[in-house]
Amino acid sequence: MASEMEVDAVVPGDSIDEGLYSRQLYVLGHEAMKKMATSNVLVVGMKGLGVEIAKNVALAGVKSVTIYDPKPVEVADLSTQFFLRQEDIGKPRAEVTGPRLAELNSYVPVHVLPGSGEITPDMVAQYQVVVLTNATINKQIEIDEYCRSKGIYFIAADVRGLFGSVFNDFGKDFACVDPTGEQPQSGMVVEIDEGEDAVVTCLDETRHGLEDGDYVTFSEIKGMEALNGCEPRKVSVKGPYTFTIGNTSGLGTYRSGGLFTQVKMPKILHFRSLKESLTQPELFTTDFAKWDRPATLHVGFQALSAFYEKAGHLPRPRNASDAAQVISLAKEIHSTGNGEGDLDEKVLQALAFQATGDLSPMVAVIGGFVAQEVLKACSAKFHPMQQNMYLDSLESMPREEPSEADCQPLGSRYDGQIAVFGKSFQDKIANQRQFLVGSGAIGCEMLKNWAMMGLASGPKGVIHVTDLDTIEKSNLNRQFLFRAKDVGKFKADSAAAAVAEMNPDLKGKIIAHQDRVGPETENVYGDEFFASIDGVTNALDNVLARQYMDRRCVFYQKPLLESGTLGTKANTQVVVPFLTESYSSSQDPPEKSIPSCTVKNFPNAIEHTIQWAREAFDALFVNPPTTVNLYLSQPNFVETTLKSSGQHHDQLKQIEKYLVKERPMSFEECVMWARLQFENDYVNSNGTPFWSGPKRAPDALKFSLDDELDMEYLVAAANLHAYNYGIKGTRDLAVFRKVIESMEIPEFTPKSGVKIQINENEPAPQANDDEDDIDSIVASLPSPASLAGFRLSPVDFEKDDDTNHHIDFITAASNLRARNYAITEADKHKTKLIAGKIIPAIATTTALAVGLVCLELYKMIDGKDKLEDYKNGFVNLALPFFGFSEPIAAAKQKYGETEWTLWDRFELDGNPTLQNVLDWFKDQHKLEVQMVSQGVSMLWSSFVPPKKTADRLGMRMSELVEHVSKKPIPPWTKNLLVEVMVNDEDDEDVEVPYCLVRI
């Protein structure tokens, strides 16, 4: 067993360790996770699918996970079961797997259920959720009937080659408390009618976002007070800013104000038993392009089970006579059950051919999906799948289908994959050379799948993985290759070592780097590097890095696999050279930003006060110490500042304040500073007469030593201020009381003539510079020489360290401001989400997204070259929803008769002169060059004076670039990317690709 995960000392029995579960809590919420913590889950069958489900459920944090599978480990199990090793062959599956599963999460005990034969109803009695994998249909019916009678939630799941199936039975009446998991809508009201079907009109700044059948309640309404805190009322939507709420007669006349808030209402769902579902299935569609396939697969999976019970084994790989028997069994089942429509025999044949196949990507997709269904059963959060799901990726088959001989088992760990694709395609997979960018949540799952697939395990194969991050505690909840003992180590190193353990064929095949990909590392990831790889897989968490890698892949004409997750949502995208558009070709709409006048003067939502507090954090603890350090370290700082900036007055006053007037010498002085800061920000507010609608008038607060929030603010602010000066802080409240009780707080007198910015178009009010004479400020500053070696310590914002006072300060500052403006306060957890810009994440979604990516990777390895062969995926596990679409084709442009896309370029060898370049375009393409540029440098244009032109025409391109940019070209640069503007023979300007000039 690995070392114990560090369990937070502050966590009592029923609390949730926010350090570990932080990212998942933002997906599921505290209520759902508390319910999960009372659920015992049983997973039967410990091949690849069973262990994938158990892994995801254990990471999520249920009360316990129990596994059952007494059968001995076979070599083919190693195709997908990542917790089995070569030396485990012959030992009982569950017994070997249990201890390794237990390392994932020290809060979740993993038990191995004793027994020797098949699972029986009496063995499942003590569990809340039972999952069956790799079981016959008759066994599934027997266990489901028992579970249904005892109120136990039942799930059956299977993977056969490129096919997967899932069945859910959560009983006759299952109450789902939050079908979508989306944040409740809320907004401001400007009018409510009185009458039978009253119309509510919202502020026209933002759409209400409600749908028919939603429920709302109200607060802060004046005039129709009876609606405040009313029982939820059903909504009928009339327009983007209006909806009706039923009868408001006799509730008085609406005067002003008010907020509506959506109320999530439980939804009661009815499930059929598996026995009934065999003949009356409720089929869940996963791919609308294959709408008729689930009905065939519903019968096909029953036929496989019937074949197994009859023959004692599954149909042999690509065996025609076994497949014919499966097809005839399917037809028999179809007609006995009065099935409608015809069965697709080609699909049934493929299912029979692949029945012994076991593919890691398919296991990841179905395993991620089923684990989320388990969590839905435990927590009632999100809408369960009803009721039969069939998913396939037949288009991942190689264009040249393998022969029967090519698919026979070889007694190797890849037999599960060879059964589907054949040995020759397995060799292709083994000799792949891939670059994985990032080894966080997506990166870990990707490496696990690649290890199981045997990617890069051959003589020519290699995997490069880069990530400059180190492992943190909050990663352990979904980055399952890491353990508590790895905290602080580099992610890429640890991940590479972990998967080489899973598949020893990868030892020495994974090269880990600790580089950020970007212009600064192009000496590492340049021409030679890209020439040596077959493709790139992104596992990144930010758009800028994704766009950079996308540009590099277009430049080097390499395929790119892209994916991302947000809570229960995931998307995957395939970028294929000369075929599809690139990642950067389409962009998401920009994030909504909050106008600065709202943040500064008119907050009306907690998001506004959190944003204000985050800015205050920088303005108090980051920017002033940084400015002081510049003054102390840069010669002539004052002169250059006065010359260069309109902010010089503020900056100088800041230096004077932090270095002279208010420089603390003790922690007590830091406490006094924090107390006066409180006065400044929460007591001395401006009241002005134009408060209406979203503009709320603030109320001054009164400081109290007995108010918990006031003290939290003081403790955090004083400690951060002390940190700036290298003074030791404390949380001892007695110290604070003593200082505060001895302080005299000056009376506040409002300033006159204060100007407030009302909207974004008005100029921000400027400080009055005449108050203090700049010369006298400068004169009062100590000379940097007199403070040699003295520096302040600016705070470096870190959201995940609960001891550093950062989130404490932002939470307290935001909530005090919320009190000023009568806004509902937010706890530390919610504040951290918004201030830290945290992306909610859960292991289930990640596993599924990566599985979809690897199903596309098979196609890339095969070199498929038609758009319809590939799929971009969109998934939301909460709803649940699957959507697949063909990638968008690369947009075509034209000059003359020549069509081109973003994948094309002109190529010029031998470091030509500028004159050579101009002549080449004229002679080869009949294009007249008007301008030549490289990066931000304009190298030449038709309006450059003749003397300059004459100087430049004879220069070689590398010389010209250095001459104009005044910078040397880095020694590793082999090519220059040059843009040209050209006219055609009719003197019309035309769009053309860029030029690649080899130097």
Residues catalogued as catalytic? 597
- Residue 507 phi, psi dihedral angles, 5° rounding: -60, 125
Measured CA to CA, the distance from residue 983 to residue 516 in angstroms comes to 40
- Residue 620 phi, psi dihedral angles, 5° rounding: -100, -40
Comparing CA positions, the residue from 15, 18, 26, 7 lying closest to residue 842 is 26
> Which pairing describes strands 215-219 and 259-263: parallel, antiparallel, or unpaired?
antiparallel
Measured CA to CA, the distance from residue 694 to residue 188 in angstroms comes to 7
HSE-up of residue 652 (Cα within 13 Å, Cβ side): 24
What residue type is assigned to position 779 of the chain?
A: A
Contact 27, 840 (CB under 8 A): yes
Provide the 8-state DSSP code for 521.
Answer: G
What residue type is assigned to position 598 of the chain?
A: T
* Cβ contacts of 669 within 8 Å, gap of 6 or more: none
What residue type is assigned to position 965 of the chain?
A: S
Token duo for residue 576: 């294929």
Q: How many C-beta atoms lie closer than 10 Å to residue 998's C-beta?
A: 14
* Residue-wise DSSP of 406-450: GGS--SSTTHHHHHHH-HHHHHHHHT-EEEEE--SHHHHHHHHHH
Contact 217, 263 (CB under 8 A): yes
Token duo for residue 265: 């209402």
Comparing CA positions, the residue from 461, 517, 524, 515 lying closest to residue 490 is 515
Identify any residues that bridge with 169 across adjacent strands, giving them in sequence order: 154
Whose tokens are 């003992």? That residue is 485
- The CA distances from residue 740 to 611, 712, 743, in Å, are 28, 14, 5
- Residue 215 phi, psi dihedral angles, 5° rounding: -120, 145
Q: How many C-beta atoms lie closer than 10 Å to residue 754's C-beta?
A: 9
Could you give the angle at the alpha carbon of 557 between the alpha carbons of 554 and 559, nearest 5°?
90
HSE-up of residue 912 (Cα within 13 Å, Cβ side): 15
Farthest CA pair distance, the chain: 99
What residue type is assigned to position 833 of the chain?
A: L
Comparing CA positions, the residue from 706, 563, 681, 708 lying closest to residue 616 is 681
Measured CA to CA, the distance from residue 944 to residue 955 in angstroms comes to 15
Contact 625, 658 (CB under 8 A): yes
Measured CA to CA, the distance from residue 384 to residue 269 in angstroms comes to 9
Contact 557, 901 (CB under 8 A): no
Measured CA to CA, the distance from residue 256 to residue 266 in angstroms comes to 32
Token duo for residue 98: 């249990």
Token duo for residue 435: 């670059």
* Cβ contacts of 250 within 8 Å, gap of 6 or more: none
* Cβ contacts of 813 within 8 Å, gap of 6 or more: 612, 613, 616, 617, 681, 713, 717
- The CA distances from residue 742 to 675, 716, 736, in Å, are 12, 20, 10
